[in-house]
Amino acid sequence: MAKVRFAPEGWIFIIPVIILTAVALLLNSYVIAIILGLAAAFLINFFRDPHRTGSAHHVDVLSPADGTVVVIKDVADGEVWPGLTKQVSIFMSVFDVHVNRSPITGRIIHYRYSPGKKLVAMSHKSSIENEQNLIVMEDSRGVKLAFKQIAGLLARRIVFDKKEGDEIARGERVGMIKFGSRVDIFFPPDVVIKVNMRDKVKVGLTVIAEIGARDEAR
């Protein structure tokens, strides 16, 4: 049986609730114990960090988040980063894994944190107006993509564990967003999108796009 892993950021929430549940049981406060127990179960589920091994093919882009595809569209060149004109957005509900992982193997060439609002993550305005991190990566072929960690209505903190200049591997943990959020991914125009609207995707496992596959076929 595979070992269940949890995001380290979660223990500060999980442990106190478990302790309070035990105290409530010792005091025979069963209703409070049930409520706290349900809260503990929710937190344990929320902060799980399952080990997944996705495709290692260099043209494959793995999903950086668990969730549901809510946007597939074209964007203006330079709106997010020069040369990136395709967008896929993934909405993360409170029941999804909230650990984020690198979609490709490459180097972080740009990182920017922007404070902002906490609009509902399903809103298109959230991609521009909400608190967010922008991460731009470049692989060994010179191919670039970008992704945003975007805070939602319930999100209280965006965690990003890497820095500009870091080399990271496809599927490597890069951070998480606590309590409901969204991740946007931006691609060059020759990308082949492999998901459809409302598809459920898995972080580090689902192939959401192929970059450079057409060049290889020539």
Q: Does 209 lie in the same domain as 128? A: yes
pLDDT tens track, the chain, 218 positions: 445 576 777 777 788 888 898 888 888 888 888 888 888 888 887 777 777 777 778 789 999 999 999 999 999 999 999 999 999 999 988 788 888 999 999 999 999 998 877 666 566 666 777 888 999 999 999 999 999 998 876 555 788 989 999 999 999 989 888 766 889 999 999 999 999 999 999 999 999 999 876 555 44
What are the Cα distances from residue 13, in Å, to 23, 38, 88, 154, 155?
16, 13, 31, 15, 14
Note whether 73 and 104 are same-domain residues: yes
Which pTM was predicted?
Answer: 0.80
Could you tell me if 101 and 18 lie in one domain? no
Query: Hey, which residues does 30 pair with through a beta bridge?
Result: none
Say if 202 falls within a structural domain. yes
Residues 162 and 195 in one domain: yes
CA distances to 94, 102, 141, 200 from 46, rounded to whole Å, are 7, 20, 36, 17
- In whole angstroms, how large is the CA radius of gyration of the chain? 19
Q: Which residues are catalytic?
A: 181
Same domain, 154 and 123: yes
Three-state SS at 131: coil
Q: Which two tokens stand for residue 130?
A: 């909400």
Range of the domain at 64: 60-217
Per DSSP, the three-state class of 194 is coil
Write the DSSP symbol of residue 134: E
Could you give phi then psi for residue 202, rounded to 5 degrees? -120, 130
Asked whether residue 54 is domain-assigned, the answer is no
First to last CA, the chain: 44
Residues 100 and 34 in one domain: no
- The count of structural domains within the chain is 2
Predicted pLDDT at 1: 40
Tell me the C-alpha distance between 158 and 162, whole Å. 12
| CB-based burial, 27-53: b 16+ in 10 Å, e otherwise | eeeeeebeebbebbeebbebbbbbebe
- Asked if residue 78 and residue 40 are part of one domain, the reply reads no
pLDDT one-digit tens code per residue, 5-42: 767 777 777 888 888 988 888 888 888 888 888 888 88
